[in-house]
Structure 1
Amino acid sequence: MVATEAGYARITWYPAGKARLVLALGHGAGGGIEARDLQALAGALPAHGVTVALVEQPWRVAGKKVAPAPKTLDAGWRGVWPVLTRPGLPVVSGGRSAGARVACRTAAELGAHAVLALSFPLHPPGRPEKSRAEELLGAGVPTLVVQGGNDPFGKPAEFPAGAFALVEVDRGDHGFAVPKRAEITQERALEILTGAVREWVATLG
């Protein structure tokens, strides 16, 4: 448990034996660290030298149902950052959906080594004119976006050109779930996600 300006946050660690960096991941506005993509990364990456830290925002720890305003989410993330950097390793700031936005908005300020944006909510469903591309483009550090091919918050083809890499999980929705009759299985979808992140992390100096 970590005290922040927004209340108590919680960090769950998945340590690597010989870690070379920490990947900190925040959750979205509609769920917690039980999300399938966060759990898949926590299970896969420690074997490849990456300590994973899953961060629960104070509103989730307090049992609330609705996420607070972005500035409050950012305050919670800033509050846990000193603990995330305590192992003395470079920290990749990341998260899914709202957590990805937080990571992008605070990366330069906090000195993040890079940003991992899972299911970045480029716009509200059906509202492409309400673009949040500036947050992504303003991260200021190496950035990887992993996006479902059927994500209503922004399909891969909708993303602007910019200084970030983008990997598509075919047929995946905002939670990387794939249809039961899709050519790709759920297990394979998560393998694509974890494999892409593993390969990208290996390129970070």
Structure 2
Amino acid sequence: MTDRDPITVETPHGPAAVHLDEAGIDDGGAPRGLLVLGHGAGGGVEAPDLMGARSAAREAGLAVARVLQPYRVAGRKAPAPAAQLDAAWAAVVAHLRDRLPGVPQVHGGRSSGARVACRGAAALAPVGVLALAFPLLAPARKDGTRPDRGPEIDAVTVPVLAVSGANDRFGIPEQTATREVVVLAGDHSLRARGPVAAAVGPWLERVLAPAAV
């Protein structure tokens, strides 16, 4: 199965489409890990930063699953409520865990997808979370306030790699004891596919090293 043949996974809120690269399966082996990626609010799984992360993961011998949420499969651009996104994500993760049992998972995504991965980390137990263009601040409300989404990424206890554009209008996460931060040239669209891959590859190696022991 390749990314050209998406699989359908039923979720509580409709079918999700999963573009799956099963590294190592064709050779009769198992992948070192599985990177599961979600897309941005109105975007898809072909975003440059997601493709950069995919390239790095495949180079490192991981399988990669890029998940198109049910609302996008249905042709809608306006995102579903957070609870629906999270439930669909959990259903896909469970399906992938059954498909590739015993394979350590790294969860992530860009923007809205990064938020979903962070919110689900406690329950879904990835070994790491990849947050591409994580939006620390929401778009301004009518009164000018911008809700803080920092608690979503701050709650993650496994290692996190946050990759952001230097001019991201939604803010850039800060480095912590468990969170590495890479700032690249660009904005929230994070179109620097090559630099994203260069940042993600070494981090994946570090995150998966304990799982291989």
Which TM-score applies when normalising by structure 1?
0.87
Aligned to 1:98: 112
Give the unaligned 5+ runs of structure 1.
178-188
Kindly provide the amino acid, as one letter, of the partner of residue 100 in structure 2. Answer: P
Cα pair 1:14 1:42 within 8 Å, conserved: no
Kindly provide the amino acid, as one letter, of the partner of residue 87 in structure 2. Answer: A
SS of 2:201 mapped into structure 1: helix
Q: Give aligned pairs, total.
A: 191
Cα 1:108–1:114 shift into 2, 3 Å:
same
Aligned to 1:33: 45
Summarize the alignment of residues 87-166 of structure 1 with structure 2, pairs less than 5 Å apart.
87-88=100-101, 89-125=103-139, 129-155=146-172, 159=174, 161=176, 163-166=178-181
Once residues 180 and 134 of structure 2 are traced to their aligned partners in structure 1, the CA distance between those partners, rounded to angstroms, is 12
Cα deviations by residue, 1:17-65 (Å, 9 ceiling, x for unpaired): 3620000000010201021111222234212211111000000111112
Cα pair 2:136 2:171 within 8 Å, conserved: yes
| Bigger RCO (CA 8 Å, 6+ sep) | 2
SS of 2:93 mapped into structure 1: helix
Aligned to 1:176: 190
SS of 1:12 mapped into structure 2: strand
Deviation, 1:160, is 6.7
Cα pair 1:16 1:48 within 8 Å, conserved: no
Name which of 10, 21, 27 aligns with 1:14.
Answer: 21
Cα pair 1:45 1:52 within 8 Å, conserved: yes
Once residues 93 and 139 of structure 2 are traced to their aligned partners in structure 1, the CA distance between those partners, rounded to angstroms, is 31
Comparing 17-26 and 50-59, the one that deviates more:
17-26
The percentage of counterpart residues that share the same residue type is: 43
Name which of 68, 74, 95 aligns with 1:62.
Answer: 74
Comparing 26-35 and 119-128, the one that deviates more:
119-128
Cα pair 1:25 1:94 within 8 Å, conserved: yes
SS of 2:195 mapped into structure 1: helix
Once residues 60 and 156 of structure 2 are traced to their aligned partners in structure 1, the CA distance between those partners, rounded to angstroms, is 25
Cα deviations by residue, 1:149-172 (Å, 9 ceiling, x for unpaired): 01111135xx374631101112x1
Once residues 14 and 98 of structure 1 are traced to their aligned partners in structure 2, the CA distance between those partners, rounded to angstroms, is 22
Runs of 4 or more consecutive aligned structure 1 residues displaced over 6 Å after TM superposition:
none
SS of 1:2 mapped into structure 2: strand
Cα deviations by residue, 1:48-97 (Å, 9 ceiling, x for unpaired): 21111100000011111211111110011011011222312001010100
Root-mean-square deviation (Å): 1.8
SS of 1:45 mapped into structure 2: helix
